[in-house]
Structure 1
Amino acid sequence: MRFLSSVGLPCHPWMATVILPLLLLLVPLTAAQMWPSCGESGDYESKSTYEANLRLLSSTLPKKAASSTTLFATDTVGNVPNVIFALALCRGDTNSSACEGCLVTAFQDGQEHCTNNKDAAVYYDSNPCMLRFSNQNFLATTVNEHILVIGSIESLMNFPKLLLFTLLNSTAQSAVNSSRRFTTSRLDVSSFPTLYCLMQCTPDLTADDCAACLRPYNQYTLKYMDGKKGGRVLGTRCTMRYETFPFFQGDPMLRIINLATEVPPNNNTMPIITANPAPQSQSPVEAPPPPEAQATIQELHGHNSRKRALWIITVAALLLSIFLCIICFVVWMRRRRKGTEILHDQAAMNRPEEDALAWRLEQKSSEFILFDLSEILHATHNFSKENLLGQGGFGPVYKFCTYFQGQLPDGTEIAVKRLASHSGQGFTEFENEVELIAKLQHSNLVKLMGCCIKGEEKLLVYEYLPNKSLDFFIFDVNRTTLVDWNKRCVIIEGIAQGLLYLHKHSRLRIIHRDLKASNILLDQDMNPKISDFGLAKIFSTNDTQGSTKKVVGTYGYMAPEYASEGIYSIKSDVFSFGVLLLEILSGKKNSGFHQHEDFLNLLGYSWHLSEGGRCLELLEASIVEEIHAAEASRYINIALMCVQERADDRPTMSTVVSMLNSENVNLPEPKHPAYFNLRVSKEDESGRVPYSNNADTICSNNDLTITEEPDGR
């Protein structure tokens, strides 16, 4: 029975046991027009397959129910894990048009009030329908779920229980015997208000199932609605309501004017009673009840004033108790939150840095998942070599396909990046990447699904991209033909859009600082996704550049002002993009470039060919036939503008994207590129080696050395 959540109160166990019975007695029928009941089957993501299936269901099920003679329909849409089971039922006294309109509204209300909840039921005060949808197959059973009990706040003074039970039992029997499992009734007894009642089961229930569904409702009535002017019990399989006014359409199907002679047993259960209506002309006659019933009625009449006073005192005491409970709860929560924050701060100061990171992630309730190490070990077969995808400076990367206690769908493919124990900067990179990329969302950025921090193990869990990285294709003569010119154009455009998002459109201004071919991952459709944010820097919107004493990056991709002076900006990433663009066009690495016509690196060689009008000579052989000379010249010109020596001369990524998409724009002539006559050495095994903070070293022809100094960030 989900009542507390439907009225918006916190569902603490002590409140459920103390306050729930009070609310059931005191909530008036007119307090709300709609009552949602939200399940506990988890949430679905926006724009997901589950949401699409729900949208499809909302367009078909209302029409299906409205066109049925019983105004009832069930349906199932989608496949596991996005399957949805649904049930729709309109009240038997309504018409098809009102039924369809009500169910359309119910789908909207269910999604609005049970936001992204996979299991929800919707009931109404005035609208003649109810709806339930769920990812669990509740249609396979007759279990009555999402039960709400609502009683009027007004009392029906001195009304004998025997009369009410006669009405309920007779109406229930009539509903059970009806082919539509629906009936309405009216109880007329002199000296007492007329009562109206409605009962309905879903038409797919048998008579016995309908009777079993309605039987507990008598107990709810006795417990929560004793002496109330009206009330209702709502469930997904059967419904009951009674009032002192005609709340349904048309004449009652059953009119009761004779009292049954049975009395509710002492165990508060009432058998189904069959009433025998008398002719309409006959005056209501009250049959003399047994002695037990006479005592009950006499007590009601004899102690009227005393009962009224006791009722007023009881209601006032209950309201005061609820008010005091709420005040105590609010005070307790505030003190608890304050104490928890102090304990958290103290714990963070005493924990190792990795535990403090995990603590912060839990407190922020990040959208990604904190995985258990045991699950990852099981899924990767204890990081077996069979699941190894590759090795980088951060550590090895593994692939696995598994199911994480319902957190991910069965069969989800995951890539796990494992922090190498020998990585000197490993945890700094790990912390930076987790806290940064979790805030970024773009189709050309790799999606971080979660992480794991357990002792010495530091793991990043990413979406798995089956086509590995860009360098796997463009630098391998056996695979370069798999990436034709059209695909390379899509890859170039995607990388540019991803960088533009980082520099301009994300919530934070991000400088990647390590853009290179091996950090461009490719999905199943060869769409690029920028990865590896371990070295990324965050700028405020007003800052344009920063500096560091620890220059860390990859040979061949670092801008000269960053390599020599530690100055980085968005123009540093633009330089790396220009190098990457030349590598995509030529199929050659800038690092370890073989000498061509006395030029020692790819940048100088490309500029020389462009100056001489020999652009086609730079292109990789497999795409020469697919690209026009003018188009090749335009792309090389854009790349050379990005790798100019002075940062101020380089365009922004906004300008780069515009130039890539504008074929008829006249591009300015680029100045000669950086490292014009400098040989760029090959990368070491890690893929990341810092340049020296020494301009003389940068300008030498020797291999560049490693210098590590305290970071200024």
Structure 2
Amino acid sequence: MAKANSTFFPLILIPFLVLNPVSGQFLNFSCGDNDVPYELNSPFYNNLMSLFNSLSLNTPQYQGFYKTSIGNVDQVYGRALCRGDVNSAVCQNCVKSACQDLAKKCQKQSAVIWYDKCQVEYSYGTLTTEYTGKYPASNTDKVSDRVQFCHVLMSLSTNLAQRAVRYELKFATGKLELTKNETIYGLVQCTRDISSVECGSCLNSAFADLNGYCVSSAGGMVLSRTCNVRFELNPFYSEPHTSRNKRIILASIAPTVCVMVVLLGIYFCIHRSKKTGDEENSQIPVLQEMVAPIPNYVVIKEESNILSSQELPFMEFAIMKAATDNFLDSNKLGQGGFGTVYKGILPDGKEIAVKRLSRRSWQGLEEFKNEIRLIAKLQHRNLVRLLGCSLEGNEKLLIYEYMHNKSLDIILFDLEKRSQLDWTKRLNIISGIARGLLYLHEESRLKIIHRDLKPSNVLLDHQMAAKISDFGMARMFQEDQNMANTKRVVGTYGYMAPEYAMEGLFSGKSDVFSFGVMLLEIISGKRNIGSHLNDQAQTLLTYAWRLWNEGQLLDLIDPMLTESCPMQELERCIHIGLLCVQEDPAERPTMSAVVVLLETKQISPPQPNKPAFSVRKLVHQHIVIEGESSLTKDQSVNQLTVSSIAPR
């Protein structure tokens, strides 16, 4: 989509025609008086007609706002905005009518038209974001107290503006009681191609124009290219569904979890000018029946609390639903134990990955909370970036940056796709995973144990750079915490360290084990479990150990690599991989040591001992221990953590 700039087009205003417009009512329009008229059937005209068609079709699908450009020669830029309280059918009809009227009323190369429920603008150049507000005639009905009216109106306008700039749709409505028989209804809205700062600036300029209404009017509106303001003494917008908003805000996603949302209320203590003998109305009334705004930023800080924060944006479920075409199967990127990941495209064209957690899964809830608690605080080039989250009833969404090459397993274990991974790319992937784990274990402000590291949880960007994802199973260690007893442990057989699978013990060394398994898989192109081999080598680890002892490492290496990479590098990486999967966790290197061994060829790795054998046949129980506790350093053994196990 095209981006707006500050080009300004002069306006010719047509007088306001109707005081109280009904649904779809024309309000106003303007043409660029310095623009040359376009000719029928010219390239500009044909592009404009295509633009009108595109705006009519797409605006309802993108939550009431759409911006685009059409044509290479005589390019036309356009945007359409529907009022935030109208449904998609009304939006489409309004935009269609507006486009038809623009074609009749103004055959210039730029124009804008306002309707009660929508507005449409086009231009031969990029669209302006400057305030260009104009206001039609106002409602001249009398009010009981003019001074009080002006105070309440400004209070209402300020409150609505504060909400709109924080709300993703940049739209807010509300009302304030003036007297028992009089209520002021207000609406503010900005186009969604401008920033929150630009939205606030536009609304402030509109309020300055609106201020003139106080002394003589009981209603009015300011229309601008990028923001609109309206107030009346009668309802003119659709009342929001408070029950839906409560579901979104409270996010009651499990009956056993009490979700508390901290929302700062806005109180208005503006006092009217005192009048002799009139004490009853000496204060501005408290805002009545204002729908509490969805918090722009939420982070789950504790087991059951959602707190407002700047660390993680909150995103509208409706926008995510539209971005994924209602979670269409063809947009599915992958599926895990607790949810499905879909590709999505935002209205501005940005690609995202949307993880839709199981709607009624308690484990999905725990994963959701855990992911927010941890990854929102972490920033590293080898970790997938969490862009935001969404809550609505039973719906729990996590929104990530989109990785063009999906997950490592999709490419690595496919005979044809694996050819994309030459040795340089594979070595970069190995180093990227190692550096991501080092950051989690030692370099971040939190000490994080991932606990579910595997190829499907390593994503690849457009340059095949590795990024660790899926922190639903991760656990944070405090500085003085070396051991914990958690409710459950969920891992993936073939990647779980033996002490984790057999005894529920986990530490940084259990992540090192998982890394070692993946390293050997990346070199061989084979899965640790499921692709083997013969009765003497049921797993990749046992096969690699046998070949190491026999001096036959060439048999382990993916044939696609044997002609394109130095054997010394391959053998060194296999050596490091075998060190990581040793049965005794104390003998495995730390991730800092792994990174040094990978990047410093002068240091000779120690000789490995035998790796751990497969644990897939040794674990049969599903045990859940309720409650959590932590133990001190004095009670720890080899800095491991005790946990129960729940196989995934």
> Pairwise mapping of residues 233-632 of structure 1 onto structure 2 (< 5 A)?
353=257, 355-356=259-260, 361=299, 363-403=307-347, 410-421=348-359, 423-548=361-486, 550-596=488-534, 598-632=536-570
Which of 579-588 and 353-362 deviates more?
353-362
Partner of 1:164: none
Secondary structure of the 1:510 match is strand
Structure 1 Cα separation of the partners of residues 259 and 434 of structure 2: 36
Structure 1 Cα separation of the partners of residues 450 and 603 of structure 2: 29
Letter in 1 for 2:607: E
Checking the alignment, whether the CA contact within 8 Å between 1:560 and 1:645 is kept in structure 2 is yes
Checking the alignment, whether the CA contact within 8 Å between 2:498 and 2:615 is kept in structure 1 is no
Structure 2 Cα separation of the partners of residues 426 and 526 of structure 1: 29
Which of the pair has the greater relative contact order for Cα pairs under 8 Å at 6+ separation? 2
Partner of 1:120: none
Partner of 2:147: none
Shift of 1:380: 1.9
Shift of 1:597: 6.3
Shift of 1:706: 3.8
> Pairwise mapping of residues 133-172 of structure 1 onto structure 2 (< 5 A)?
137=128
Change (3 A) 1:352 1:552: closer
Structure 2 Cα separation of the partners of residues 555 and 347 of structure 1: 33
> Pairwise mapping of residues 72-91 of structure 1 onto structure 2 (< 5 A)?
none
Structure 2 Cα separation of the partners of residues 139 and 437 of structure 1: 38
Checking the alignment, whether the CA contact within 8 Å between 2:501 and 2:615 is kept in structure 1 is no
Change (3 A) 1:673 1:648: same
Relative to the length of structure 2, the TM-score reads 0.51
Change (3 A) 1:644 1:559: same
Structure 1 Cα separation of the partners of residues 471 and 497 of structure 2: 18
Partner of 2:626: 710
Structure 2 Cα separation of the partners of residues 357 and 644 of structure 1: 46
Secondary structure of the 1:458 match is strand
Shift of 1:708: 3.9
Structure 2 Cα separation of the partners of residues 589 and 600 of structure 1: 11
Q: Return the structure number with greater helix share.
A: 1
Deviations 1:114-147 (A, max 9, x none): xxxxxxxxxxxxxxxxxxxxx995789899xxxx
> Pairwise mapping of residues 111-150 of structure 1 onto structure 2 (< 5 A)?
137=128
Structure 1 Cα separation of the partners of residues 570 and 129 of structure 2: 62
Structure 1 Cα separation of the partners of residues 311 and 562 of structure 2: 45
Q: Return the structure number with greater strand share.
A: 2
Which of 354-363 and 639-648 deviates more?
354-363
Structure 1 Cα separation of the partners of residues 400 and 316 of structure 2: 15
Structure 2 Cα separation of the partners of residues 140 and 471 of structure 1: 51
Structure 1 Cα separation of the partners of residues 615 and 362 of structure 2: 27
Secondary structure of the 1:425 match is helix
Structure 1 Cα separation of the partners of residues 398 and 383 of structure 2: 15
Structure 2 Cα separation of the partners of residues 571 and 358 of structure 1: 39
Checking the alignment, whether the CA contact within 8 Å between 1:590 and 1:680 is kept in structure 2 is no
Checking the alignment, whether the CA contact within 8 Å between 1:596 and 1:605 is kept in structure 2 is no
Partner of 2:15: none
Secondary structure of the 2:562 match is helix
Checking the alignment, whether the CA contact within 8 Å between 2:262 and 2:308 is kept in structure 1 is no
Structure 1 Cα separation of the partners of residues 442 and 317 of structure 2: 36
Relative to the length of structure 1, the TM-score reads 0.46
Structure 2 Cα separation of the partners of residues 352 and 386 of structure 1: 35
Structure 1 Cα separation of the partners of residues 562 and 568 of structure 2: 12
Shift of 1:354: 7.1
Which of 442-451 and 384-393 deviates more?
384-393
Change (3 A) 1:347 1:550: closer
Partner of 2:571: 633
Shift of 1:377: 1.7
Partner of 1:244: none
Checking the alignment, whether the CA contact within 8 Å between 1:484 and 1:623 is kept in structure 2 is yes
Deviations 1:503-544 (A, max 9, x none): 011110000000000000011111011000000000012334
Partner of 1:168: none
Checking the alignment, whether the CA contact within 8 Å between 2:387 and 2:399 is kept in structure 1 is yes
Structure 2 Cα separation of the partners of residues 351 and 366 of structure 1: 28
Secondary structure of the 2:441 match is helix
Change (3 A) 1:621 1:139: same
Deviations 1:94-123 (A, max 9, x none): xxxxxxxxxxxxxxxxxxxxxxxxxxxxxx
Deviations 1:393-417 (A, max 9, x none): 12111111113xxxxxx11111110
Partner of 2:137: none
Structure 1 Cα separation of the partners of residues 133 and 530 of structure 2: 72
Deviations 1:208-234 (A, max 9, x none): xxxxxxxxxxxxxxxxxxxxxxxxxxx
Checking the alignment, whether the CA contact within 8 Å between 1:417 and 1:461 is kept in structure 2 is yes
Shift of 1:615: 1.1
Partner of 1:654: 592
Partner of 2:103: none
The answer on 1:673 being equivalent to 2:617 is: no
Deviations 1:361-382 (A, max 9, x none): 3744233211111222222222
Checking the alignment, whether the CA contact within 8 Å between 1:377 and 1:383 is kept in structure 2 is yes
Checking the alignment, whether the CA contact within 8 Å between 2:525 and 2:558 is kept in structure 1 is yes
Structure 2 Cα separation of the partners of residues 138 and 611 of structure 1: 70
Checking the alignment, whether the CA contact within 8 Å between 1:550 and 1:712 is kept in structure 2 is no
Change (3 A) 1:511 1:554: same
Shift of 1:578: 0.4
Secondary structure of the 1:576 match is helix
Deviations 1:18-68 (A, max 9, x none): xxxxxxxxxxxxxxxxxxxxxxxxxxxxxxxxxxxxxxxxxxxxxxxxxxx
Letter in 1 for 2:503: E
Gaps of 5+ in 1: 1-79, 81-134, 144-345, 404-409, 682-696, 699-703
Checking the alignment, whether the CA contact within 8 Å between 1:513 and 1:535 is kept in structure 2 is yes
